[in-house]
Amino acid sequence: MAETLRLMAVHAHPDDESSKGAASMAKYVAEGVEVLVVSCTGGERGDVLNPRLKQDATLLRDMGEYRRHEMAEAARILGVQHRWLGYVDSGLPEGDPLPPLPKGCFALTPEQFTVDALVHVVREFRPHVMTTYDESGGYPHPDHIMTHTVSLAAFHAAADPERFPQAGPAWTTSKLYYHASFSRDRMRTFHEAFLARGEESPFAEWMKRIAEEEPGARKELEITTRVECGEFFETRDRALLAHATQIDPDGWFFGVPLELQRELWPTEDFHLAISHVPTTTPEDDLFAGLRP
């Protein structure tokens, strides 16, 4: 009997898993793939981003506890397993000059500890595929950038029996992907569709910022892999709404009707960063080259 395929998605905070790659994960769960989401931090320093909840003082007293409950519900909706890596949210520094990061946060924790912690999870779960962020973090949050650094280091270290021997037998993960769904082309496609329909576009501000960018200011990842998962977009949205403190249900993320998304862009997109198995791009499956 063929071995059950396993996918590990490493994210910075609870809610990241529901906004990046969630429909793909739900699709793979439905196919019988084992999926594990790893949250590097508890999201304790997140702001209340839902206007309907901003006046709820109880949220501010223990944001971490609320986010643990939200994550449990999102994992249930997606059908995935979940693991906390156990580090504290670094917060998003703002101001000029930027303030220092808080002591003890994830982004300041020495990599010898954070990589060790993730190697333990990799060797226990033994994923065939890992997903995470590219070196930019997807956006310049210190936890996202550190998540990339730790994920890439653990991907390599878990395969080396001389590194972190206390973490269990070495395991080589076959493929590593970076999320690439928030591409300019995807946003432009939806933006132009709204204009063609004579409707106001929820991506107008995005398009304005992109137009004002200096040439080459932001690197676009090459999309190597497009996973068709339109039938799971509703599951993705329900999982994201489970993170009630972190998402505005009336915001831009839900501004495109599902039928239009399925028509114009029915995939979640990834960049194949490393593969230890033969594969040919473009791919339509994160497990290309691994299926019997």
Binding residues: 13, 16, 144
Q: At 26, which amino acid appears?
A: A
Distance CA 291, CA 7 (A): 13
Reported as type and span, the H/E element at residue 71 is: helix 63-78
- Mark residue 15 as left, alpha or beta (left: phi above 0; alpha: psi -120 to 50; beta: remaining): left
Cα-Cα-Cα-Cα dihedral sign, residues 150, 156, 160, 162: negative
Instruction: Spell out the residues 6+ positions from residue 272 whose beta carbon is closer than 8 angstroms to its own.
Output: 175, 176, 177, 224, 225, 279, 281, 283
Distances 104 to 6, 17, 39, 174 between C-alpha atoms, Å = 32, 24, 17, 33
Which residues are known binding-site members for Zn(2+)? 13, 16, 144
Alpha carbons 128 and 4: distance in angstroms, whole number: 10
Identify any residues that bridge with 228 across adjacent strands, giving them in sequence order: 267
Helices (H) and strands (E) in the chain, counts: 10, 7
Strands (E), the chain: 6-11, 34-41, 81-87, 129-132, 175-179, 225-228, 267-275
Q: How far is the C-alpha of 77 from the C-alpha of 72, rounded, in Å?
A: 9
Helix axis angle for 63-78 and 233-242, nearest 10°, is 160
